[in-house]
C-alpha cells in the first residue's frame, strides 16, 4: 500500500536510474574539469582552547540568500555554556526545551515547528534518530566544537547532501580541525572545570601531524555531577524550598578524527564518536511528590567518512557514509510487572550513504544533483512490539544563480519511504516532492545591505514511537507537513572608524503553516492514549539580532550582541475548543543580550536571557499560565604566561539573582551556580 501526496509513484527502475546517474556523473566527465591550482592556504595556530583575546567578534560580511546565525571561536568561549543547548539560547527565533538539571533532555524548537523539524548535522553528516525524532543536545560539548551555524532555510550552497534539503531548519556543529605551525608536529591541551552541584569536568585534546597531508585528532571528556540543587515549589497554598533528587550524571565522550588531502587536492575525513552515560531522571514535581528512582543508560556510537573533490574544479563531487548504533536502557523501579520492575532496552541502527554533485555551467550558474539512502532499524524488548525497519531514499535536483547583486536558488526534493515490520501491521509506503526557492538582492553596490526571501515545503515522517509504540502507536499516521515563508534583510559591515569597528544587523519576518500535526489524545481512557493527525498551526513571527565591535583604546575592545523574537503561534484546528490559542511553551516575546570586554589578557562577559509568559497546555487559561523568566550571568578569564607557557583561568557566576524557573512545567531548573575553568596547551 502506498500513500501518495504529490504525483504518481515513480517506478523502482526510475529511482535506480537516478541513483546510477549520480554515480556516473560523480566519477566520469573528467574532461570538464579545469586545471587545478597548486597553492593552498593553511591557517596556523597553537591554541587548542581558544585563548587569543583580540580576535574579531563578528564574521566577515557574506552574501547569503537565507537567514543564517552563527557562533564561532571566541564567541563560544564567552557564553559560559557547558554544551550546545546552552549556547543556542543566544540565537533568535528558537526555544531550547530543557527538562531540568545537567543531565536533563535538551532539544531545540526553531520557529515553533517542533523539535523534529530541526535537523542537526555533525561535521556535515546528519545525526539521526528514527525512534523519537529528537537529538539530545546535552550530549555535545563545546570543548571540541569550533563553529555553530543555524539555517532556517538550508545552506545557500547547493553542494550538499540530499538530506540537507529535507530539513525545515538546520543546525550545523563543526568540530575543530587540526592545524600546525611550521615545524610543529604535535598540539595538546587540557581543560578542567568544577563548580556547583558536584561538577567535575576534565577534558583533553591531542592533535598529531602524521605526514604532510594527513593529521589526526583525539578528544576525550568526562563529566560527573550529583545534580542536587535547590528549587522553590508552590502548590497554590504554600511555598517550600526543596532539593532536586535523582539528577546525577556520569558521562564519557570520546572522539577521534583523521583528516587528509590527496595528490589532486581532494579532501577526506574519517571520524569516530562514542558517548556513554548513566543518569537519573528526575520526575515532574506533581502533588508534592519529589521522589524519583528512574534511571537511564545511553551508548551512542558512530563512524562516518567524507570525501570531497577539489573546490576549483568545474565539476565537484562529495561522498558521505555513516554507521550509527544507539543503545538505551530505561529502568523504572516503581513500575512493577509480573516479571519485575519496568526495564526496557532499545537498540537502534542506522546506515547512511550519500553522493552529491555540483556542475558549474558558467561563472554565474551552478546546478546540482544529490542522492541519499538511509536504513533504520529498531529493536526493543517491549510487549506487542513490531520491530520496524525503514528505508528512505532522497533525490534532490538544485540550481543556483549568483550575480553580483542578486542570488537565486531553487531545489526539488523527492523522498521515497518504505517500511517493513516483523510483527503486526506496518505503516504505508510514502513518497512526496518538496520544492524550495530563495532569493537575495543587494540594492546598493557599495553598501552590504541584502534583502532576502524564501519559500519552502517540508515534512517530517512519523517516528517509530509514533507508529509502533505498544498500545499507543498508530500506523495510519500521515507525515506532518509545513509550508514556510520568510522575508528579511541583513547588513554586515567592517567599519573604518576609530571606535566602531564592525556592525551586523539581521531582521526577518516569517509565516509557517503546519498541517496534519501529530498529537497524542486519550483513547478508551486516560491510561491508554493514541497518536493521531489532528492539528493545524499558524505561526507568525519577527526575529532580529544585532552584533557590534567597538575599540575604545589599543588595549580595550568591547563586543555587543542583542537578539529579540516576537512569535504568535496559534492552534487553528477546525472546531477545536482552543482555536486561536497560543500553542504550549511558545512565548510571545523572548530575547538575549551579551556584552564582552577585552583588556589586554583579561576578558569580562555578561549575558542576559529573557523568556516571556507562556502556557503549559493547549488551552490558554489561568491555571495553565507560566510566568516569564530571565537569567543574568557573568564571567571573567585571565591569561597567564609562566616560563613561556600560556595558562587560562576563568570563573563564572550563572543566574546571579537566583531566579527559580521552569522551562518545562514542573521540571525546575537550577538557581544560582558557579563554575571555575583552568586550561593550558602542552
**Integer Cα distance of 453 and 38 in angstroms:** 38
pLDDT-derived band at 379 (thresholds 50, 70, 90) equals very high
Q: Are 483 and 466 in contact (CB under 8 A)?
A: no
**Integer Cα distance of 82 and 69 in angstroms:** 20
pLDDT the model gives residue 632: 95
pTM of the model: 0.86
Mean pLDDT of the region 268-287: 90
Residue-wise pLDDT tens digits, 167-179: 899 999 999 999 8
Q: Are 425 and 475 in contact (CB under 8 A)?
A: yes
Q: Where are the alpha helices (DSSP H) in 503-595?
A: none
Between 82 and 539, residue with greater pLDDT: 539
- Least confident among 351-355, 531-535, 565-569: 531-535
Between 286 and 268, residue with greater pLDDT: 268
Mean pLDDT of the region 663-668: 85
- Least confident among 129-138, 155-164, 311-320, 593-602: 129-138
pLDDT-derived band at 106 (thresholds 50, 70, 90) equals confident
Residue-wise pLDDT tens digits, 226-276: 988 888 877 667 778 888 888 899 999 999 999 999 998 999 999 999 999
Q: Are 468 and 382 in contact (CB under 8 A)?
A: no
Between 376 and 30, residue with greater pLDDT: 376
Q: Where are the alpha helices (DSSP H) in 430-509?
A: 464-468
**Integer Cα distance of 243 and 256 in angstroms:** 38
To the nearest whole number, what is the mean pLDDT of the chain? 85
Q: Are 361 and 29 in contact (CB under 8 A)?
A: no
Amino acid at each position: 500500500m502506498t500513500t501518495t501526496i504529490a504525483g504518481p509513484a515513480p517506478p523502482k527502475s526510475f529511482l535506480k536510474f537516478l541513483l546510477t546517474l549520480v554515480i556516473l556523473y560523480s566519477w566520469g566527465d573528467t574532461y570538464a574539469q579545469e586545471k587545478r591550482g597548486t597553492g593552498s592556504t593553511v591557517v596556523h595556530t597553537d591554541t587548542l582552547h581558544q585563548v587569543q583575546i583580540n580576535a574579531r567578534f563578528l564574521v566577515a560580511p557574506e552574501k547569503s540568500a537565507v537567514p543564517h546565525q552563527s557562533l564561532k571561536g571566541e564567541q563560544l568561549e564567552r557564553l559560559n555554556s557547558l554544551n550546545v543547548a546552552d549556547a543556542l539560547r543566544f540565537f533568535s527565533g528558537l526555544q531550547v526545551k530543557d527538562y531540568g538539571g545537567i543531565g536533563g533532555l535538551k532539544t531545540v524548537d526553531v520557529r515553533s515547528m517542533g523539535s523534529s523539524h530541526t535537523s542537526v548535522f555533525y561535521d556535515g553528516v546528519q545525526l539521526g534518530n528514527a525512534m523519537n525524532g529528537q537529538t539530545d543536545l546535552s550530549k555535545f560539548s563545546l570543548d571540541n566544537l569550533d563553529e555553530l551555524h543555524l539555517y532556517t532555510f538550508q545552506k545557500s550552497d547547493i553542494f550538499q547532501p540530499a538530506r540537507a534539503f529535507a530539513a525545515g531548519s538546520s543546525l550545523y556543529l563543526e568540530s575543530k580541525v587540526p592545524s600546525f605551525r611550521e615545524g610543529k608536529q604535535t598540539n595538546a591541551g587540557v581543560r578542567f572545570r568544577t563548580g556547583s552541584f558536584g561538577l567535575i569536568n576534565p577534558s583533553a585534546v591531542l592533535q598529531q601531524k602524521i605526514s604532510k597531508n594527513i593529521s589526526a585528532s583525539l578528544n576525550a571528556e568526562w563529566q560527573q555531577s550529583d545534580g542536587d540543587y535547590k528549587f522553590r515549589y508552590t502548590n497554590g497554598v504554600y511555598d517550600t524550598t526543596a532539593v532536586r533528587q535523582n539528577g546525577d550524571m556520569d558521562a564519557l565522550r570520546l572522539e577521534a578524527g583523521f583528516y587528509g588531502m590527496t595528490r589532486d587536492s581532494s579532501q577526506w575525513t574519517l571520524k569516530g564518536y562514542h558517548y556513554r552515560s548513566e543518569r537519573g531522571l528526575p520526575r515532574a514535581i506533581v502533588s508534592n511528590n519529589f521522589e524519583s528512582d528512574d534511571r537511564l543508560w545511553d551508548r551512542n556510537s558512530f563512524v562516518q567518512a567524507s570525501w570531497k573533490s577539489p573546490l576549483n574544479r568545474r565539476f565537484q563531487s562529495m561522498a558521505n557514509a555513516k554507521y550509527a548504533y544507539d543503545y538505551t536502557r530505561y529502568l523504572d523501579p516503581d513500575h512493577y510487572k509480573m516479571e519485575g520492575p519496568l526495564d526496557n532496552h532499545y537498540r537502534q541502527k542506522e546506515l547512511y550513504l550519500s553522493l552529491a554533485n555540483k556542475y558549474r555551467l558558467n561563472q554565474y550558474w551552478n546546478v546540482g544533483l544529490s542522492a541519499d539512502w538511509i536504513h533504520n532499524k529498531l529493536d526493543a524488548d517491549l510487549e506487542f512490539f513490531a520491530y520496524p525497519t525503514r528505508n528512505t531514499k532522497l533525490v534532490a535536483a538544485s540550481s543556483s544563480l549568483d550575480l553580483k547583486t542578486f542570488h537565486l536558488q531553487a531545489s526539488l526534493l523527492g523522498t521515497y519511504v518504505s517500511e517493513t515490520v516483523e510483527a503486526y501491521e506496518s505503516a504505508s509506503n510514502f513518497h512526496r516532492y518538496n520544492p524550495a526557492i530563495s532569493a537575495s538582492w543587494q540594492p546598493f553596490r557599495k553598501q552590504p545591505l541584502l534583502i532576502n526571501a524564501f519559500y519552502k515545503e517540508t515534512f517530517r515522517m512519523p517516528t517509530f514511537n509514533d507508529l509502533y509504540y505498544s498500545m499507543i502507536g498508530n500506523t495510519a499516521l500521515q507525515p506532518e507537513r509545513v509550508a514556510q515563508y520568510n522575508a528579511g534583510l541583513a547588513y554586515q559591515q567592517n567599519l573604518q572608524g576609530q571606535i566602531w569597528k564592525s556592525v551586523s544587523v539581521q531582521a526577518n519576518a516569517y509565516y509557517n503553516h503546519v498541517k496534519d500535526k501529530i498529537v497524542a489524545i486519550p483513547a478508551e481512557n486516560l491510561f491508554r492514549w493514541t497518536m493521531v493527525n489532528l492539528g493545524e498551526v499558524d505561526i507568525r513571527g519577527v526575529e532580529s539580532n544585532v552584533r557590534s565591535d567597538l575599540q575604545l583604546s589599543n588595549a580595550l575592545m568591547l563586543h555587543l550582541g542583542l537578539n529579540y523574537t516576537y512569535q504568535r503561534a496559534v492552534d487553528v484546528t477546525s472546531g477545536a475548543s482552543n482555536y486561536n490559542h497560543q500553542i504550549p511553551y511558545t512565548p510571545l516575546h523572548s530575547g538575549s543580550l551579551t556584552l564582552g570586554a577585552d583588556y589586554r589578557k583579561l576578558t569580562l562577559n555578561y549575558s542576559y536571557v529573557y523568556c516571556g509568559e507562556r502556557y503549559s497546555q493547549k488551552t490558554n487559561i489561568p491555571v495553565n499560565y507560566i510566568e516569564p523568566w530571565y537569567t543574568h550571568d557573568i564571567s571573567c578569564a585571565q591569561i597567564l604566561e609562566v616560563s613561556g607557557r600560556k595558562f587560562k583561568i576563568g570563573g563564572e557566576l550563572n543566574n546571579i539573582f537566583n531566579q527559580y524557573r521552569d522551562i518545562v512545567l514542573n521540571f525546575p531548573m537550577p538557581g544560582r551556580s558557579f563554575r571555575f575553568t583552568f586550561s593550558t596547551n602542552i
